[in-house]
Amino acid sequence: MGLGIYKGFEIPLPTFGYLGEKLNIIGPFVSYHLLKQDVFQFSANLSPRFNGFYSNDADIFKGMDERQLSLDAGFSLIYKKDNWKLKSSAMFDVLGRSSGYEVSTQLGKLFRFGSVFVEPNVGLSFLDAKHVGYYYGVCDHEITTSRLGFKGNSALNKTLGVSVMTPVFFKGLTSLSINNTWYDSSITDSPLTESASSLSLKIMFVNFFNLYTRHP
């Protein structure tokens, strides 16, 4: 799976996972449940920010300063009731690359068809001007005849997706998620981008096992 909408440049995303009582690791994304009561769950999160590039990554970046990958940290709140799930999160650049932040919310509903579970969802993601300017902007000294200057403003991206899950294979949980994101014009107007939207696909298999053995 690739990440990002830069011209001529794809970022591979490694995947691995661990699901514990409080600690969850899905790919390189980490969450820790701080509070879980009834229909609410409050968690602390760490998430790599894969945007970024070197000047030799693609032709469009030649002569530009490096945009570094970063690490976001923040919190999320999940509300679940009657098969509805609402998740809101706020993430901040803790390494000071862009010094920006992202606030997002996602609403989904779970439907069951025998042993198959389907969850369509919609989401909104707000990125502040610092984030957009750092990762998609073109500074004055980076301007060329084929690359215009671009500062960038805050952006509101929209996402529509669906997840399909089933426990029938190999005594575990298999899930397939497809999401399409439509980017704000504050991002797509940048000379560094080539698409107004991106499609992502994630396939995951989770096998549950007990790490501890009780002795009589």
pLDDT in tens, 34-56: 999 889 999 999 999 988 888 88
* CB within 8 Å of 119: residues ≥ 6 apart: 85, 108, 109, 110, 111, 162, 163, 164, 165
When pLDDT is averaged across residues 91-114 and rounded to a whole number, the result is: 97
Whether 196 has a pLDDT exceeding 70, the answer reads: yes
Quick check: 7 and 193 in contact, CB under 8 A? yes
What token pair was written down for 123? Answer: 């989401």
Quick check: 107 and 122 in contact, CB under 8 A? yes
Percent of the chain with pLDDT over 90: 64
User: What is the per-residue pLDDT across 148-167, written as a single tens digit (0 to 9) for each?
Assistant: 999 989 999 999 999 999 98
Pick the CATH number of 2-206 from 2.40.230, 2.60.120, 1.25.40, 2.60.40: 2.40.230
Quick check: 197 and 158 in contact, CB under 8 A? no
**Residue 200 binned pLDDT confidence (cut-offs 50, 70, 90):** confident
Would the pTM of this model clear 0.95, i.e. be above it?
A: no
What token pair was written down for 113? Answer: 């068809």
β strands within the chain, DSSP E:
2-3, 11-12, 17-19, 23-26, 29-37, 40-49, 70-81, 84-93, 101-109, 111-113, 116-127, 155-166, 173-182, 197-206
Mean pLDDT across the chain: 88
Query: Alpha-carbon torsion 101, 133, 71, 176, what sign?
Result: positive
